[in-house]
Amino acid sequence: MSGDANRKARVTKAINALIPVCWPFVGTTMVFTLVAIFSLRIWVPDLFTNFYFHFLLLQIPFAIGLALSGHRKQALSVLPFILICFFQVGSLYIPDKTSSSASSGTNATVKLLQINVLSQNKQYDDVVSAVKKSGADLALLEEVTPVWLEKLTAGLAPEYAVVQASAREDNFGIALFSKIPVLESRILPLGYVQTPTVAAKFKLGESGAVCGLLATHVLPPLSAQYFRERNLQYDELRLFGNKYSKNLIIMGDLNTTSWSPFFQDLIKTGHLHDSTRGAGLQPTWPAYLYPFGIGLEHCLYSDAFKCIKRSVGSDVGSDHLPLIVELQLQRDLEKDFEKDLEQSHEKQ
């Protein structure tokens, strides 16, 4: 018993010595948690919304240490912040029940792959292999330079054809490859900075439901100006998407996590669903910190679809990990919209 008592005393003494060292760090996460949860909708507070999981990694062990060393009141002071972060993280594990439950009886699915290849990356064969191994119907590649486009086009042919591509020497080149027929496609300049977004339509299932895809890469919020421009790009995606297709999919590097209030605005006002809901934490950036990074890659979809699978791929030499999403068509909203128009004309 004396040995156990001495061991417990040493542990308590060590914890007591660490408490003053850890409090500034944990206290900072508590302040950041408050700033994030109040959704102040300005640049720096919005950045804090990306790190609820990381705040938990500091707050939970610290609170346990406080409780074990007899500092229960201090432990209780950390508890509200743990609950806030836990609620935010936990919400990603709750399936999205708001998507349409009315099914058209079709089992038609589409598999999408997104890879931010990193413009400086030279592991061309690894990316080509990842695309082929994924079995994706549509593959979105970002940060595509002229060299990358040449390597991808040659490596993916003849299985995949280029739908649209805008190769650039900066980090905003983009290319969409497909192994299914595409009805139409174009490059859209997005925002004041005119970064390219691919808009494409394709048919899905035996009924031939026409679906729309917006494949994009928005600006990172590295400054207040870029932050405003990113949010403007969200608005343009929403406005164009609402007109482009009722059976809509938006996929890309949206340079934020699901917790950003601006991301939530895109979801709500665009009448979209977040594929992250129900899948939980699936960090994609930075690749070398997996599984402790943040999820910047996203796939959003309208009521026409249901997400049946979402996963993160293996390292391909980029600072981002691939995102693979499989969607099932639940209902052809384009056809429903046309029927509603016909009925309204008949009544007139």
The whole-number pLDDT of residue 335 equals: 84
Q: Where are the beta strands (DSSP E) in 167-262?
A: 174-178, 182-190, 195-204, 209-217, 248-253
CA–CA gap between residue 37 and residue 308 (Å, rounded): 30
Answer yes or no: are the C-beta atoms of 164 and 198 closer than 8 Å.
Answer: yes
Top mean-pLDDT range of 14-23, 169-178, 339-348: 169-178
- The per-residue pLDDT for range 57-88, each reduced to its tens digit, is 999 999 999 998 888 999 999 999 999 999 99
pTM for the complete prediction?
0.92
Per-residue CA distances from 148 to 141, 151, 168 (Å): 10, 5, 10
CA–CA gap between residue 243 and residue 240 (Å, rounded): 5
- Among 276, 305, 198, 194, which Cα is nearest to 244's? 198
In the structure encoding, which two tokens stand for residue 114, read together? 């997104």
Domain 109-336: top CATH class: alpha beta
- The per-residue pLDDT for range 34-56, each reduced to its tens digit, is 999 987 889 999 999 999 999 99
Name the residue ranges covered by the structural domains of the chain: 2-93, 109-336
On average, the pLDDT of the chain sits at 92
- The per-residue pLDDT for range 107-164, each reduced to its tens digit, is 799 999 999 999 999 999 999 999 999 999 999 999 999 999 999 999 999 999 999 9
Q: Is the pLDDT of residue 1 over 70?
A: no
- Dihedral angle over CA of 236, 240, 245, 250, nearest 10: -20
pLDDT band at 100 (very low <50, low <70, confident <90, very high): very low
